[in-house]
């Protein structure tokens, strides 16, 4: 039969499934689009931490003023606000990373995420991002045709150098 209003608006995500979805988007950027600015370590780590922190702060503020998303009818506002503020913060700090928006959204719409409280931006947001960056540095640099990261933490473009051997080329990618 037709869906009732409560069924359409009720989030059906658990914490593990939601985290896997956000990390899946991060994996596509880091492992497949490794040359994209959005996939660079600074953007991945800071963008995800910003998203987690903004999600936490938005929920906490809305809760403090009595406007938290305690019902599905009001969840849309808190969710939209957390993503919008994440985009603004990422743009201002020069660390745009779309999965960071998902991190903010997940904190708002998935109750088990909120149980992590202030630790949510650290784990899974920061820890997950750091693990992805480390794995990306290893796997993307196995091919001579790929180099990750493309920029340093301070976003300075890297200089290209012609390596004498494959091993020197591999090690040079981390400088």
63-96 residue pLDDT tens: 888 876 555 667 888 899 999 999 999 999 999 9
- Tokens 């969840």 appear where? 75
pTM for the complete prediction? 0.78
Q: What is the pLDDT of residues 16-32, one digit of tens each?
A: 666 777 889 999 999 99
């Amino acid at each position: 039969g037709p869906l009732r209003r409560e069924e359409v608006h009720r989030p059906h995500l658990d914490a593990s499934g939601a985290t896997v979805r956000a990390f899946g988007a991060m994996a596509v950027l880091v492992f497949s689009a490794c040359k994209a600015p959005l996939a660079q370590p600074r953007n991945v780590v800071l963008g995800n931490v910003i998203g987690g922190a903004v999600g936490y702060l938005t929920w906490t503020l809305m809760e403090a003023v009595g406007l938290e998303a305690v019902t599905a009818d009001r969840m849309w506002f808190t969710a939209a606000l957390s993503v919008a503020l994440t985009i603004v913060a990422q743009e201002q700090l020069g660390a745009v990373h779309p999965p960071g928006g998902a991190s903010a959204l997940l904190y708002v719409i998935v109750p088990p995420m909120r149980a992590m409280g202030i630790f949510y931006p650290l784990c899974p947001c920061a820890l997950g991002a750091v693990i992805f960056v480390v794995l990306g540095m290893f796997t993307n640099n196995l091919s001579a045709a790929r180099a990750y990261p493309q920029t340093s933490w301070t976003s300075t473009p890297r200089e290209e150098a012609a390596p004498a051997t494959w091993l020197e080329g591999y090690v040079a990618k981390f400088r």
